[in-house]
Every structure is written in structure tokens, then in C-alpha cells.
Amino acid sequence: MTERRGTPLVGNRFLWPFVLITSLFFVWGMARAILDVLNKHVQETLSVSKGESALLQVTVYGAYFLMALPAGWFIRSRGTRTGVVVGLLLFAAGAFLFVPSGWGSTFYGLLLPLFVIGCGLVMLEVAANPYAAALGDPLTAAGRLNRAQSFNGLGSIVGALAGGLFFFTETAGPASRNVAVPYVVLGAFVLLVALCFVRLRLPEVVVERDLRGPEDCGGRIAPTFYFGLFALFCYEVSEITINTFFINFVSDSGYVSPLHASLLLSFGGLGLFMAGRFAGSALMRRVAAERLLAVCAVGALVCMACVMAGDGWLSVGALVACYVFESIMFPTVFALSLGYAGERRALASSLLMLSVVGGAVGPLLTGHLADAFGLTTAFAVPMVGFAVVLFFAMFSLERGR
């Protein structure tokens, strides 16, 4: 479904609320990126394997699975602003928990603070994704969500850059302090953002139905929605797996140090990721979201094939290039799937956030495969995930004709 030309992504009425909500995308982008850098750091300083270090992702993204439906219920009953404030406070509480837990001096001491942070993140995402999608014409929902998610990419760049400089430079302090300090600083920043939301009022928007077909009528969720849910789960498997083991893949090749690998992740991969979302939101003004999603899925599959070829810098370049192709996938699949939810979009958005548990499954599976067969072979996991996204894009494209 192509957007109407001339239809603004965000009208003047919703411009300021859109800016406020978009700031949350920046916050959780930073949090996720620091976690990806932390994965390599704990392998080196706490002597854990790739499979064991993936428990960091399991802890954070497992919180999504446990909290997505309760978060959705809370937001539907208390409102978006209250949900955002509670999410920010949970995030800050998790960040400050690093202090009584011994400043992250042991691997398992990291897990409780990260779980609380994950609970805060899921509250923010359940509130912000459908709210950003609803701030305007339903036909521009995918483009609008891609625009908001672009700032998630910007937060990821900042988080990966700050984490890499902090964890991998020779002037960094002892390992026991390295883990905690960036989270405590981020927690203090999040408290300031929470104060802004306490003092400001967000307009409650009416979530209009997106008419995709007769099966979307009525108060039930169409069966096709669950295909989108599965595709989003598979995308999360791919995205978080690549982020988690990017530094491992690049630095283990012997070409660069972990510090330079983190800089390549920040300015290379995540820079392309952010640029891809800005470009995607612009292209969707002229190209059907389903068609663009299919093209990007094919591009991601080609990149993964090159990565698995294990051909030195060609594989590294393909891994970096994959970020531009995966950039539009989450917001586009999310928006398309909501279109199949009929009148139950509030419930559907909570169900879609359950898919983020793929960020726990993918790294854990890939980490154990990497320990057994090597990381190059283990990248078959994200390749399969992108294949499912391609099938969903082709299915949605056929329905839209």
C-alpha cells in the first residue's frame, strides 16, 4: 500500500507530541547499543564464552516476553504518558541497581539490573511504537514509524561509540567500574527525561482502523496478523544476533582491535542503519512499503551469504552493508502487522512486542553454535530470519494488489 503523495508524515497538530515520543526511541537505542558492546567486554574481562555472554541478551529481551502483555494492559488502563514515565523510572532503577550489586564485578551480578532495565524498555516500546504510528494519517503510518525509528538508530550510534571508547580504551578504569558507570550516567539522564514527561501532557489519539480487507472488520484480530508477529520475531532474531556478535566477528578476524570494531559498528553499521531509516521513510512516499521490505530482505540475504563465505574484508563489508537493508524491517513489519489487527490494535501492539524475545533466542542459539562450529557458520541463524521476513513481504505485497 503506497502513501498518498502530499500527505505529511506528521501534521502540525501532532508535531510536538511526535518529537517527545521520538526522544524515547533515542533512549532505548543507546541502551541496546551499550549492551552489544558489553557482550564482547565481558568475554574478555570475565572470561566467559560466546554462548554464556549471550545470557546478557537473554536477560534483557526475555523481559520483553514476560512484560509485553502486562505493559500493554497497564498503558491501556492508565494512558500513554503514565506508561512512559513508569518505563523510564524502571530503566533508571535498573541502572542504579549496578551500585548495590557490586558495580558489575561478576558476570551474574549484571543480570538483575539488566532485567529491570529490560522491563523499563518494554514499557517504553509498547507505549511509543503504536503511539507514533497513530499520530497522523493511517496511510503514512509505516513511513512515520520509520522516521521515529531513525532516532533509535542515532541513539545506537551514540551508545556504541560511548561504550566502545569506555570499555576498550587503555585509559579505562578497572573492569568492576567499567560496567556500571555508563549505565549510572544513562540512568541519571533518563530521570531527567521522565521529569519532562511528568510535567508535559500528551494528547490521547484515536487509533483509526486500517482497512486492508473484509477479514479485518469486527473486534477480532485477523489470522494474517500472526504471520506478521512471527516475521517480527524472526527479524529480532537476526538483528540482535548481528549486533551482539558484530565486534566478535570483526575483531576475531585479526584485522582490527575490539575498539576499532566498536567504532566500525557505530559509524559504519549503525550509521548506515540510521541513514537507511531516513531514506526508507522518504522512499515510502512513492514506493509501497511491502515492496521496499521485499527488496531489503533480498539485500540482507545476499549480505549474509557473503558473511558466511568467510572471505576476509568482503565478509566484514557485507556485514556492515547488511545494516542498511535491515534498517526499515522492524517499523515496516510492525506497521503492516498492525494493519491486519482490525479494531484490536492496542492488544496487537502488545502481542507484537512479545516478538522482541527473538533478541534472547537468536544470540543464545548463535553463541552456542559459534562455540561449537565457529561464528561464520553460526551466522546461518540471522540468514534464516531474513528469509522469513522476505516471505512475509511477498505475502503482504500479494494482498495489497
Query: Angle 57-241-168 (CA atoms, 0-180°, nearest 5)?
Result: 70
Q: State the pLDDT at residue 139.
A: 66
Q: Residue 51 and residue 251: Cα distance in Å, rounded?
A: 17
- Residue entry with cell 575498539: 259
Q: Which of 115, 12, 13 is nearest to 62 (CA)?
A: 115
pLDDT at position 215 is: 40
What predicted TM-score, i.e. pTM, was given to this entire model? 0.78
3-state secondary structure of 60: helix
**Per-residue pLDDT, 345:** 66
CA 3 to chain centre: 24
Other Cβ atoms less than 10 A from the Cβ of 44: the count is: 14
Report pLDDT for 292.
94
The residue written with cell numbers 509498547 in the block is: 126
The amino acid present at 1, given as its one-letter code, is M
DSSP-derived secondary structure for 213-272: -GGG-SSS--THHHHHHHHHHHHHHHHHHHHHHHHHHHHHTTSS-HHHHHHIIIIIIHHH
Task: Report how far residue 274's alpha carbon sits from residue 35's, in angstroms, rounded to the nearest whole number.
Answer: 18
CA 394, CA 241: separation in Å to the nearest integer? Answer: 24
- Between CA 345 and CA 335 the distance in angstroms is 10
Instruction: Judge residue 60's burial from the number of C-beta atoms within 10 Å of its C-beta, 0-12 exposed, 13-18 middle, 19 or more buried.
Output: buried
pLDDT tens digits in sequence order for the chain, 401 residues long: 444 444 555 556 677 778 888 888 888 888 888 888 888 888 888 888 888 888 998 999 889 888 888 988 888 788 877 888 899 999 999 999 988 765 556 788 888 999 999 999 988 888 887 777 777 766 676 677 777 777 887 888 888 888 888 887 765 555 444 678 888 888 998 998 888 888 877 666 554 444 344 344 445 677 788 999 999 999 999 999 999 999 999 987 777 888 888 889 888 998 898 888 888 878 887 888 899 999 999 999 999 999 999 878 899 999 999 999 999 998 899 888 887 776 666 678 778 888 888 988 999 999 999 999 999 999 999 999 999 999 999 998 887 65
Q: How far is CA 384 from the centre of its chain?
A: 18
Which is nearest to 336 in space by CA: 386, 280, 299, 289?
289
Per-residue confidence (pLDDT) for residue 342, from 0 to 100: 66
Helix (H, G, I), strand (E, B) or coil at 145: helix
The span from the CA of 293 to the CA of 295, in Å, is 6
Q: What is the spatial distance between Cα 92 and Cα 187, in angstroms, rounded to a whole number?
A: 4
